[in-house]
């Protein structure tokens, strides 16, 4: 099935886009997290969201979830690893699954840990974003796992069951991954090294750590890797007032389009992107 729209990301921008597409009866797939966004839930106190007086992030998140459920909107729990233009529509790879849509709304937030130098270049040649898809290729080998959220630890654990040795780089407090073959080096990787395939990681002290592969388990993927050809401006997706990007049928909203990083900006842009897509789909008919 080719959906009218795919929304990528379940923060406030994605919520707003999904509500508006549902009201207008469009077929869409919404990919992200079933509990929406860590960035909503983590806020201690929110004083600038109209209609909520000093709500906690959890209260706002719960209110979004309640509304989404009440409207019968479903979330597909997955990370989109790659998007490919297919002429008149787009194909999306989300782990081992494949989806197609005529138009896209990117609401991926901002990636605070960033990608490593060389990461995009070695994608599919030793760099992977999907333990389930590619883990089997590294049976008995040495790999590195960069992980920016404890919720991905079960994927790292799965990889530790396959690889001979895992260098684990958690970017959060109190990591819980333990296994005899897992080591958490003190330094941080800054670049991916290799020729045809990945051979090592360059570390922040200038040394090289030999590895056969690198798994990046993050809440978001760098924009250039996610959708090649997407125009960016200072690390954000370049958009016009309709939230349109440089690619036909591709719109973006929220933190990923630039500062200020705020809920109400994200919600407003999600609304505009959804309405612009209605026009785009009507013109395409
Ligand atoms: C501690 C804290 C407190 C804050 N307090 C306030 C405040 O008081 N007021 C205020 O206005 N703002 C506040 N903010 C900022 C606010 O959280 C953000 O501006 C807002 O969440 C942005 O919404 P978004 O939808 O653009 O992105 P996000 O909320 O970042 O959501 C993006 C979502 O997309 C998902 N995603 C990313 N890439 C992919 C992919 N490839 N495939 C599938 N899913 C993907 C992510 O997992 C995430 O769920 C705060 C932020 C933090 C961290």
List % helix, strand, coil for the chain (3-state, nearest 5): 25, 30, 45
For 104-155, how does the pLDDT look when each residue is reduced to its tens digit (9 = 90+)?
A: 999 999 875 568 999 878 988 999 988 887 899 999 999 999 998 898 999 9
Q: Is 127-217 a domain of CATH 3.40.1360.10? A: no
Q: Which CATH architecture has domain 2-111+221-284?
A: 3-Layer(bba) Sandwich (3.50)
Place of tokens 């974003």: 129
Q: What is the pTM of this model?
A: 0.85
For 182-221, how does the pLDDT look when each residue is reduced to its tens digit (9 = 90+)?
A: 999 999 999 999 999 999 999 999 999 999 999 999 877 7
Q: In the chain, list all ranges with CATH 3.50.50.60.
A: 2-111+221-284, 127-217
Quote the CA–CA distance of 173 and 185 in Å, as a whole number: 15
Q: Which protein residue has the closest C-alpha to ligand 1 atom 26?
A: 254
First to last CA, the chain: 17
Answer yes or no: is the C-beta of 245 below 6 A from any ligand 1 atom. Answer: no
Quick one: which of 265, 241, 239 has its CA closest to 252? 239
180: left (phi over 0), alpha (psi -120 to 50) or beta: alpha
For 221-276, how does the pLDDT look when each residue is reduced to its tens digit (9 = 90+)?
A: 778 788 989 998 878 999 999 999 999 999 999 999 998 989 999 999 999 999 99
Ligand 1 centroid to Cα of residue 108, in Å, is: 8
């Amino acid at each position: 099935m080719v959906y009218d729209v795919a929304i990528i990301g379940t923060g406030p921008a994605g919520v707003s886009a999904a509500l508006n597409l549902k009201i207008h009866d469009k077929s869409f797939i919404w990919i992200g997290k079933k509990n929406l966004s860590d960035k909503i839930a983590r806020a201690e106190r929110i004083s600038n969201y109209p209609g909520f007086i000093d709500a906690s992030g959890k209260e706002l998140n719960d209110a979004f979830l309640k509304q989404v459920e009440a409207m019968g909107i479903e979330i597909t729990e997955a990370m989109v690893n790659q998007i490919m233009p297919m002429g008149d529509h787009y194909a999306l790879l989300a782990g081992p699954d494949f989806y197609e849509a005529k138009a896209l709304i990117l609401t991926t937030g901002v990636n605070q840990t960033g990608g490593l130098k060389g990461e995009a270049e070695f994608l599919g040649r030793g760099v992977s974003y999907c333990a389930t898809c590619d883990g089997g290729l590294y049976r008995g080998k040495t790999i590195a796992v960069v992980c920016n959220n404890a919720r991905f630890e079960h994927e790292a654990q799965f990889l530790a069951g396959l690889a001979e040795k895992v260098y684990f780089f958690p970017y959060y407090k109190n990591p819980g991954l333990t296994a005899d073959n897992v080591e958490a080096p003190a330094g941080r990787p800054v670049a991916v090294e290799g020729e045809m395939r990945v051979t090592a990681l360059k570390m922040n002290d200038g040394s090289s750590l030999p590895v056969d592969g690198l798994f990046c388990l993050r809440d978001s993927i760098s924009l250039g890797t996610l959708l090649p050809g997407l125009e960016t401006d200072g690390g954000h997706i370049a958009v016009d007032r309709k939230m349109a990007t440089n690619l036909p049928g591709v719109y973006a909203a929220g933190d990923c389009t630039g500062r200020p990083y705020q809920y109400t900006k994200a919600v407003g842009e999600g609304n505009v992107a959804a309405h612009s897509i209605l026009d785009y789909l009507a013109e395409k008919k």
